[in-house]
Amino acid sequence: MPIVPQAERRGDSPWQRSDARTRAISEHISAWDTPLHWTELFALESRRATLLYWLGVGLVVAGLFATHLLPCVDYPQHLALSDIARRLHDPNAPERTEYELNFFTYNGLFHFVVAGLSSVLPIELAGRSVVAVSLLAMAGATLALVRILRRPPFHAALFTPILFSFATGWGFVNYVLATAVAAWTLVFLALAAIRPRLPTLLAIAALGLLCAFAHVLAMLVLCLIGAALVLELAWRTTPPSLGALERTMRTLLRAALVGLPLLLGCAFCVEVYRRQYGWDPNMYRDPTMEGSAPPLWQKFVFFSAFATDLFGDATDQVVLWLAMGIMGFAAYKAWTRDGDRGRGSHANRAGGARTADAEPAPPIVAPFVVMTLAYFTTPMVLIGTHLIFPRLAQWAVFGAVFATPAFPERIRARVREYVLRLGVAAGLSLLLHCMLFDAETRDASAMIDDLPPGRSATAVIWDPGTIAFRNGTLTHLAAYYAARKHGQWAFAFARYLSVPVRFRSGSQPAWPLKGWEFDGEQYNPRCKYARAFPLVLIKAPTHLSRDASGESLVRQLVFKQDAAAVKLLSHHGRYWAFDTTGLPEDGTL
C-alpha cells in the first residue's frame, strides 16, 4: 500500500505537510539504504555459502597459476609491450631508438601497471597477477552489487561460469582489467543512486576516469549499463506517493547527478580519439568488414560460444547453459506466481534482506535489458576493431544475475546449494583445463628458456590451438620470448597507435606482403621481414615430432633450400628453435 503521510490526510498546515513528505521520502530511501559493513559486501547467506562462492572464484584464479604460459591469445603481446614500457623508463635504454611511450591513451592501464610491478616481480608473474586481480575484482564487484541491490546473495555464483570469459580467453587483458574497474564503478553508482553522497560521487569520477584510461569499450559499456542501473534504482527509491510527474522529475534529476561524474572519463576518451584520429584516420576503419555481424538467430543459438568459446571439449559452454537455465527456471517460477511475489511491504523486504530467510528486494531488470539489446545490435567489427559484440555477452549475463527473480522460499535452500556447486564446478573445470594446457605447452616454455636473451624472434606455428583450449593460444609465441628474454618480436602490437608502447616513425621493418602470423606455411626465410627476425620459434606438425628424422623434416618444411644453413638452438617435443643468421635476402617483402 502506498505510503501516505498522515498530515496530508488531516489537512494540516503546509509546513507540517512538508515535514511529513520529507519523512516519507527518507523512510522510503532508508528501506534500500540499510547500512552494510564492508565485510558483508563479500559474504553470502552463511559461512558455508561464502566459502563455496569464493572457492569457485579461487579455482578460476588458480588456473592462471597452474601453467607456464597463459591460455590467452593476445596476452603475450601485451606482456611484451609491458616489458618494453618498463625498459623505456630508463633514459639510457637502447629501446628508446625504436619505441616511444604514449601516456595519453585509452588502452594502457594494464601495460603501465604490469610495467611497474615487473620492477619488483618477474614480468610473467606480474602479468598473470594483474589478470588474476582483475578476475577477483570482477567477482567481488558482482557479489557486492548483489548485496547492495538486496538480491539473494548466492545469485552471484551464477556469474562464475563466465568469469573467465571470451575476452579473457582471447587475451584482451586491457579490456578485462577495465571491466573490473567498470564493475566497481557500478557498485558506487548503485550506492549513489540510492542516496547521493559527495565521497561516493568522487569515487565514481575517479573510477570512471581509470576505466577510460584502461579501455574505451569498457567505458562505453559502463556508461550504458550505468545509466540503466541508475535510472531504475532512482525510480525504485523515489516514493510512489509523490505522484507520477514529480516522481519522474526526481528520478531524472538524481540520475543526472549520479551520472555526471562519468563525464570526466567520457571527455578523456573523446579527446584521445580526436587526437589519434588525426594521427591516422584509417586506423579506425576496416572497409572490408566494418559493421559485419552474424544473423540474430546465430547470436541467440550460439550465445554460449560467443560468450566463452574456450575449451576444446566445449564443457565451458555446457556449464554456462546450466547457469542460464537456472536463471530461466527462476523466471518461470516467478511468472507462474510461485516465485518472487511481493509478500509484505517493500520496505520490509528491502530492509530485511540481510538475513538468509528474508524476502529480497525486487529484481533489477534494466541493465539486463539494455546489455542484451546491445549484444544483439552491435556488429562483430566496429570502428575498425574486431570481436566486439562477443565481449558484451558477459555483460548480458552480468545483468541477468540481478534480473533473476528470487526462488520460492520452499526450494531456495536447495537451489542455493546447486548454484554454489555449479560455481565450484566451473572453477574446477577451468583449473583442470589449464593444467592440461600446461602439459601441452610445457615444451614451448622450456624451449624459450634455452634461447639466448635480447634477440629478434618470430614464430612459425602449425596448429596454434591445443586440446585444452580451442583458440590460437600459441599464435603470439614469439612475444613470450620477447617478454621473458627482453628481446624483439615479429608482428608486434606496437604498430597500433592506440597502445601506449609504439614504434617510432620509420623504426619498424617494412610489413610483409604475406604474413605468417596466422599461417606458418606462408613463412619465407629470405624475405626482408624474416631477415629482421633471425631467431625462429617453431611448433611443428604433430606427425613430424613422431618421426625419427624429425629435425631434417622440420628443417626442410620451414627453411626449404636453406635447411642445412640454419643452426638448431633448442628442441622439446613439437617445439624447435633455429638461428637463421646469415641467410641471404631475396629482395621480397
**95 alpha-carbon distance from chain centroid:** 30
Query: Does residue 170 sit in the same domain as residue 232?
Result: yes
pLDDT one-digit tens code per residue, 450-491: 999 999 999 999 999 899 998 899 999 999 999 999 999 999
Rounded to whole angstroms, the Cα distance separating 555 from 557 reads 6
Q: What percentage of the chain has pLDDT greater than the value 70?
A: 89
Is residue 280 over pLDDT 80? no
Rounded to whole angstroms, the Cα distance separating 509 from 456 reads 12
pLDDT one-digit tens code per residue, 559-579: 999 999 999 999 999 999 999
Query: Does residue 385 sit in the same domain as residue 402?
Result: yes
| Residue 285 lies inside a defined structural domain of this protein | no
- Element at 101 (helix H, strand E): strand 99-101
User: Would you state the pLDDT for residue 26?
Assistant: 53
C-beta separation of 583 from 565 below 8 A: yes
Q: For the ranges 266-280, 417-431, 526-540, which has the lowest average pLDDT?
A: 266-280
Query: Does residue 51 sit in the same domain as residue 141?
Result: yes
Q: What is the mean pLDDT of the chain?
A: 89
| Residue 170 lies inside a defined structural domain of this protein | yes
For residue 134, give the C-alpha cell. 582483475
Query: Does residue 376 sit in the same domain as residue 483?
Result: no
Last residue of a domain, one of 397, 431, 465: 431
Is residue 80 over pLDDT 90? yes
| Residue 286 lies inside a defined structural domain of this protein | no
Map 221-238 to HEC letters.
HHHHHHHHHHHHHHHHCC
Is residue 15 over pLDDT 70? no
Is residue 1 over pLDDT 70? no
Q: For cell 584464479, name the residue.
A: 61
Query: Does residue 467 sit in the same domain as residue 422?
Result: no
Last residue of a domain, one of 431, 451, 476: 431
Please state the domain count of the chain: 2
| Residue 510 lies inside a defined structural domain of this protein | yes
DSSP label at residue 30: H
Q: Report pTM.
A: 0.91
Rounded to whole angstroms, the Cα distance separating 184 from 270 reads 22
pLDDT one-digit tens code per residue, 192-233: 999 999 999 999 999 999 999 999 999 999 999 999 999 999
User: Would you state the pLDDT for residue 243?
Assistant: 84
| Residue 76 lies inside a defined structural domain of this protein | yes
Judged by phi (left if over 0) then psi (alpha if -120 to 50, else beta), residue 384 lies in: left
Query: Does residue 211 sit in the same domain as residue 139?
Result: yes
C-beta separation of 69 from 484 below 8 A: no
| Residue 407 lies inside a defined structural domain of this protein | yes
**317 alpha-carbon distance from chain centroid:** 17
Query: Does residue 515 sit in the same domain as residue 567?
Result: yes
Rounded to whole angstroms, the Cα distance separating 81 from 115 reads 9
Q: For cell 564492508, name the residue.
A: 38
- Element at 567 (helix H, strand E): strand 567-572
pLDDT one-digit tens code per residue, 332-376: 998 886 544 444 344 444 444 344 445 688 999 999 999 999 999
DSSP label at residue 255: H
Last residue of a domain, one of 404, 431, 458: 431
| Residue 496 lies inside a defined structural domain of this protein | yes
Q: Of 497, 526, 490, which is closest to residue 511 (Cα–Cα)? A: 490
pLDDT one-digit tens code per residue, 140-181: 999 999 999 999 999 999 999 999 999 999 999 999 999 999
Query: Does residue 222 sit in the same domain as residue 272?
Result: yes
User: Would you state the pLDDT for residue 76?
Assistant: 97
User: Would you state the pLDDT for residue 373?
Assistant: 97
Query: Does residue 266 sit in the same domain as residue 237?
Result: yes
Query: Does residue 511 sit in the same domain as residue 454?
Result: yes
Q: Could you tell me the CA-to-CA distances from 427 to 53, 467, 499 in Å, in that order?
A: 10, 18, 32
Residues recorded for the chain: 589
User: Would you state the pLDDT for residue 33?
Assistant: 65
Query: Does residue 370 sit in the same domain as residue 355?
Result: yes
Is residue 13 over pLDDT 70? no
Query: Does residue 297 sit in the same domain as residue 391?
Result: yes
Q: For cell 625504436, name the residue.
A: 98
Q: Could you tell me the CA-to-CA distances from 104 to 64, 81, 268, 492 in Å, in that order?
A: 30, 16, 9, 20
Is residue 16 over pLDDT 90? no
Range of the domain at 495: 436-579
| Residue 19 lies inside a defined structural domain of this protein | no
Q: For the ranges 41-55, 266-280, 317-331, which has the lowest average pLDDT?
A: 266-280
